């Protein structure tokens, strides 16, 4: 899954160049390629042998790969320290999460139906519920938003995913990803 995430960030950067998209440097998020390289570095820092091929494919210089163990160590220690007090012991009751699937409004009905059928949000809620203590109920919601996006709404305590993201992701791979011939060759 991490490899696909990295690929998506690289493909999105490629799409932005080809389509001459305006890159908002003021955005709350780092640039697509920067996100991709950060993830590759954390992967290499976690297990250099397992993820060396991903770093090579991403053309990450060996000298940068050599510093990734430190990056991973810092990130791992930080997340472990912050999350430790939020880990749910087996004796602690689980928090009830709200799950909402909005209408696909015609255009995205098949995506909405697929997500409901595979119980995507319920799966995410169950994972969050099993692992962590939550102070209050949180809602996981999928709906049509008008653009591909995901967001956290602090006011309503809602994690929102937009159906448009699924279409955008499929189009990204269709238009900028591996061709069927290249995909077959990559598997061999």
Chain segment 134-185, per-residue pLDDT in tens: 988 999 999 999 999 999 999 999 999 999 999 998 899 889 886 544 443 3
- Predicted model pTM: 0.76
User: Rounded CA gap, 57 and 65, in Å?
Assistant: 12
Structure tokens at 183: 């995909």
Please, what's the b/e burial string for 73-92 (b: 16 or more CB within 10 A of its CB; e: otherwise)? eeeeeeeeeeeeeeebeeee
- DSSP-derived secondary structure for 119-148: THHHHHHHHHHHHB--SS--EEEEE--SSS
Mean of the per-residue pLDDT values for the chain? 88
Q: Is 161 helix (H, G, I), strand (E, B) or coil?
A: strand
Least confident of 12-26, 81-95, 153-167: 12-26
Is a pLDDT exceeding 90 seen at residue 49? yes
Is a pLDDT exceeding 90 seen at residue 65? yes
Region 66-78 average pLDDT: 97
User: How distant, in Å, are the alpha carbons of 51, 66, 75, 114 from that of 45?
Assistant: 9, 8, 10, 36
The pLDDT assigned to 23 comes to 73
């Amino acid at each position: 899954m991490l490899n696909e995430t990295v690929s998506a960030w690289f493909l999105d950067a490629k799409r932005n160049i080809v389509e001459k998209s305006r890159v908002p440097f003021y955005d709350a998020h780092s640039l697509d390629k920067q996100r991709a390289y950060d993830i590759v570095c954390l992967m290499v820092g976690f297990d250099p042998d397992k993820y060396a091929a991903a770093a090579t494919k991403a053309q990450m210089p060996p000298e940068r790969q050599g510093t990734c163990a430190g990056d991973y160590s810092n990130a791992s220690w930080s997340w472990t320290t912050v999350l430790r007090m939020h880990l749910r012991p087996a004796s602690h009751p689980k928090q009830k999460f709200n799950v909402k699937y909005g209408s696909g409004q015609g255009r995205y009905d098949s995506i909405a139906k697929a997500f409901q059928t595979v119980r995507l949000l319920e799966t995410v809620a169950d994972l969050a519920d099993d692992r962590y203590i939550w102070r209050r109920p949180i809602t996981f919601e999928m709906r049509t938003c008008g653009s591909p996006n995901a967001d956290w709404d602090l006011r309503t305590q809602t994690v929102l995913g937009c159906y448009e993201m699924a279409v955008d992701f499929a189009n990204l791979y269709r238009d900028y990803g591996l061709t069927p011939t290249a995909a077959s060759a990559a598997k061999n």
